[in-house]
Structure 1
Amino acid sequence: MDILDTGLGSIEAQLWQILFLSIRCGAALMAAPMVGGTAVPPPVRILLSLVFGFFIATWVPLPPAPAMLSFGAVLAVLHEVVVGLALGFVLQLAFAVPLIAAEQISGTMGLAIATSIDPASGAQSGALGTFFGLVLSLLFYAIGAHLLWYELLIASYRLLPAGEWGFGAWQAKNVVMFMGYGLATAAAIALPVVLVLLLVQVVTGLISRSAPSLNLFALGLPAGVAAGIAALIIALPVMTEQFRGVIEAALEQSEGLLIAEGDADG
């Protein structure tokens, strides 16, 4: 085995193997929304990756560490990074669904200028988007989806062994299809509230035409905000179920990334 000699003796090979196993965990944790945001410092994420790699090394057979500074090592590391990023990216797409829906609703309600700091990314986000994101996060942890995702991450070492290229066009196609599902779901979440707001705007326009002396902005904006809040209160139970469906679909999609095309068809 051609690895760098660090003078650690017999445990050196095992340390390199654990470090190799940690690459996939590190890429997944960097991309996943749970610890991938600015709220978790990079050293903490690196430490978590090493801890995951250590425990995974006790649960799955240790693959031989690839020869250092070789083309095979580059391919092996690239495979681990791609698999980890794909597993985390699917969750990122799921967490983006409520944000897209909130942007559509906020723009129609006139709340696009109401922004706050997103605790996950540290960037400015709409107030409604932050609220939707918190609701999705609470559901995600309440139903134990984070534990199921960690279980899938560990199972990926058995279904897609480290060092063996098993991630291909089939998995990439599934990720792209999940992006389309996310956009369609975001539109479905926002559609009822947007339709109510559109109806309010039509009624406001008719009133302004029949009574030109009325101030359209003084009448339309408060009416739109009030109708939007009322529609959100009524639709929130349905939205919660839709958020849960997004989480379940993300976990199902993450599991599908670990299955070959022939096995999925069967």
Structure 2
Amino acid sequence: MSESVFALGELENQFWQLAFLMIRVGAALVVAPFFSAAAVPALVRVSVAGAVAIFILHWVPVVGLPSDLFSVPGMIVVVGEILVGLCLGFVLQIAFAAPLIAAEMISGAMGMSMAITGDPASGGQTTAYGQFFSVVLVLIFLTLGAHVQWLGLVIESFRAFPPGETWLGADRMAEVAAFGGVMFETAVRIALPVTVILFLVQVITGILSRSAPSLNLFSLGLPAGVLAGICALLLSTPLIYQHLSDLIATALLKTESLVIR
């Protein structure tokens, strides 16, 4: 009794190559902001990963593809692909966390920490100003075409780190961790003008309330702080736009440094 083996020849080989290339791209999209938003269906992410993998299959001469993905050497290569993809997406995730930290600082100084809303990007909760900053950063990110540049760097990573040579090394991992310092620095720069103005308003309100206790001017501190914070945000809009643009550019440069040997 003969056994019939069902195979599609070259078409089957291209399918497994495509599935393998989708691992790194899919890992990057899962971690990267905007692409990993809770509002983005999983089918869309898989479709984008498949489309990018098709371009990689035709543009980049990928060598070193494992012959058997389900063997021990094949699984080790898969883990390396996931590691590279997570690092490429994590850099953007760190950059997108900077305005959220700035929003927490501003909301706390204004007394608006109780104004919490749902964050569709992460599925959690954030302050109203955090949602505002997130929307502004996404718009700047798309307007500058940074999403195209980032996807281009993901494709270019297959030239720098072919399958089987995906160990980034301690120096590149340290660069990713050090980028967190840039995140905190940018958050402080965004929040500093507003928090300074709010501090001055609170000092003036405290001085007036101590000078004339019978007028109960201290009860006006919260409305005055909210009004001053809104005015400060409007005045510092060009500065905030510049900081966010520089943050995106720095994140792309940091991602590029990961894929350049």
Equivalence for 2:231: 230
Q: Which amino acid aligns with 1:127?
A: A
Q: Distance in 1 between matches of 2:23 and 2:231?
A: 48
Structure 1 residue matching 2:122: 3-state secondary structure:
coil
Query: CA offset at residue 34 of structure 1?
Result: 2.1
Equivalence for 2:86: 85
Query: CA offset at residue 217 of structure 1?
Result: 4.7
**1:23 and 2:23 aligned:** yes
Equivalence for 2:107: 106
Structure 1 residue matching 2:147: 3-state secondary structure:
helix
Structure 2 residue matching 1:125: 3-state secondary structure:
strand
Q: Which amino acid aligns with 2:70?
A: L
Q: Which amino acid aligns with 1:54?
A: I
Q: How does 1:142-181 map to 2 (within 5 A)?
A: 142-181=143-182
Q: Distance in 1 between matches of 2:173 and 2:86?
A: 11
- Say whether the 8 Å CA contact 1:6–1:12 is kept in structure 2: no
TM-score, normalised with respect to structure 2: 0.93
Query: CA offset at residue 43 of structure 1?
Result: 2.3
Q: Is there any run of 5+ residues in structure 2 with no aligned partner, and where?
A: none
**1:249 and 2:250 aligned:** yes
Q: Deviations over 1:108-137 (max 9, x none)?
A: 001111122223223221111111111111
- Say whether the 8 Å CA contact 2:105–2:191 is kept in structure 1: yes
- Say whether the 8 Å CA contact 1:16–1:65 is kept in structure 2: no
- Say whether the 8 Å CA contact 2:66–2:77 is kept in structure 1: no
Identity of aligned residues (%): 49
TM-score, normalised with respect to structure 1: 0.91
**1:68 and 2:69 aligned:** yes
Query: CA offset at residue 7 of structure 1?
Result: 2.2
Q: Distance in 2 between matches of 1:89 and 1:14?
A: 29
Deviation >3 Å, runs of 4+: none
- Say whether the 8 Å CA contact 1:79–1:163 is kept in structure 2: yes
Q: Distance in 2 between matches of 1:232 and 1:35?
A: 28
Aligned residues: 256
Query: CA offset at residue 76 of structure 1?
Result: 0.8
Q: Distance in 2 between matches of 1:251 and 1:62?
A: 23
Structure 1 pair 248/45, CA: closer, same or farther in 2 (3 Å)? same
Q: How does 1:208-219 map to 2 (within 5 A)?
A: 208-219=209-220
Q: CA RMSD in A?
A: 1.5
Equivalence for 1:136: 137
Q: Deviations over 1:161-210 (max 9, x none)?
A: 12323411111101111011101110111111111111111111111111
Q: Which amino acid aligns with 2:46?
A: I
Structure 1 residue matching 2:215: 3-state secondary structure:
coil
- Say whether the 8 Å CA contact 1:13–1:65 is kept in structure 2: no
Q: Which amino acid aligns with 1:105?
A: I
Equivalence for 1:49: 49
Q: Which amino acid aligns with 2:12?
A: E
Equivalence for 1:190: 191
Query: CA offset at residue 154 of structure 1?
Result: 0.8
